[in-house]
């Protein structure tokens, strides 16, 4: 089912799939993506789990709220979705910005999480200059100035050749992102540094990332900062391993979820 719900003062788009009585797994998407970025996970995950996807504020069907945005606000949004739906505890899977959100959830609302998978993310997203440049381009050229450079960064050259239709689907998500929502999220990411909080995370965590992702280094640092976390590197994948290596990614997610359910 697809719907909207009031969460932390904004209308939030969400979708639920899978058995109503199964353990809940909450998915949080990357910047410039909607919850449809997880479409390739639905069949495998929702067979035995209740899959909850939602759009981050400023994205997709969720409200573009006024400035300022912050990582605490993003965590409050996610927790608010859970509260509004009557979900007390969930597994959490977040990619990129979604991974930042997961890190803050784990320290701000630790009792709400059963386990966590942090994908292709960092505790501090490099670099300040890069985020300032993205904001400048978006203000000048809109999302059309962002799409192609980001696609080249996110997806490997081999995937561009192998599956141009899927690349176009990601391009469509990027171009469909509200410019103000993107800029406000960029400002929030630019201001976020959760490195000092990694040692406070006690949730059972797996860190998963594509070997060719520019964020491979920051992702490894997140793994090293969270005591007892498991690390899985997916070969032949960039920033979106859930799309480039769907079978391996889904197997990794299910192994994690089955281990902690």
Report pLDDT for 1.
52
- The proportion of the chain whose per-residue pLDDT surpasses 70, expressed as a percent, equals 99
Res. 242: pLDDT tops 70: yes
Find the mean pLDDT for residues 97-109.
98
Res. 2 pLDDT band, cuts 50 70 90:
low
**Mean local confidence (pLDDT), 112-137:** 95
**Ranges 11-20, 46-55, 125-134, 245-254: which has the least confidence:** 125-134
pLDDT > 90? residue 212: yes
Start-to-end CA span in the chain (Å):
24
Range of the domain at 176: 2-259
Mean pLDDT across the stretch 66-79? 97
DSSP secondary structure letters along the chain: -EEEEEETTEEEEEEEES-TTSPEEEEEPPTT--GGGGHHHHHHHTTTSEEEEEPPTTSTTS--PPSPP-HHHHHHHHHHHHHHTT---EEEEEETHHHHHHHHHHHHSGGGEEEEEEES--SS-S-HHHHHHHHHHHHHHTTHHHHHHHHHHHS-HHHHHH-HHHHHHHHHHHHTS-HHHHHHHHHHHHT---GGGGGG--S-EEEEEETT-TTHHHHHHHHHHSTT-EEEEESS--S-HHHHTHHHHHHHHHHHHHHT-
pLDDT band at 158 (very low <50, low <70, confident <90, very high): very high
From CA 29, how far away is CA 40, in angstroms rounded? 13
244 pLDDT higher than 60: yes
CATH number of the domain enclosing 215? 3.40.50.1820
Please report the pLDDT score of residue 127 as a whole number.
85
Q: Give the mean pLDDT of 91-104.
A: 98
Domain total in the chain: 1
Question: Mean pLDDT across the stretch 165-171?
Answer: 98
């Amino acid at each position: 089912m697809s719907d909207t719900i009031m969460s932390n003062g904004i209308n939030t788009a969400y979708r639920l799939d899978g058995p109503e009585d199964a353990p809940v797994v909450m998915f949080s998407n990357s910047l410039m993506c909607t919850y449809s970025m997880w479409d390739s996970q639905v069949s495998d995950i929702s067979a035995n789990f209740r899959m909850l996807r939602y759009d981050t504020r400023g994205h997709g069907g969720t409200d573009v709220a006024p400035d300022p945005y912050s990582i605490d606000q993003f965590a409050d949004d996610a927790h608010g979705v859970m509260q509004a739906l009557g979900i007390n505890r969930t597994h959490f899977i977040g990619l990129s910005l979604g991974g930042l959100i997961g890190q803050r959830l784990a320290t701000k609302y630790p009792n709400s999480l059963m386990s966590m998978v942090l994908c292709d993310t960092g505790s501090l997203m490099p670099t300040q200059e890069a985020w300032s440049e993205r904001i400048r381009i978006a203000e000048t050229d809109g999302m059309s100035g962002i799409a192609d450079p980001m696609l080249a960064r996110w997806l490997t050259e081999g995937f561009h050749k192998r599956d141009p239709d899927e690349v176009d689907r990601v391009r469509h998500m990027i171009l469909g992102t509200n410019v103000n929502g993107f800029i406000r999220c960029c400002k929030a990411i630019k201001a976020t540094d959760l490195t000092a909080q990694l040692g406070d995370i006690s949730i059972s965590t797996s860190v998963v990332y594509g070997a060719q992702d520019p964020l491979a280094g920051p992702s490894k640092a997140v793994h090293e900062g969270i005591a007892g976390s498991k690390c899985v590197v997916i070969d032949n994948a960039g920033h979106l391993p859930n799309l480039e290596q769907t079978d391996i990614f889904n197997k990794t997610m299910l192994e994690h979820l089955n281990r902690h359910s």
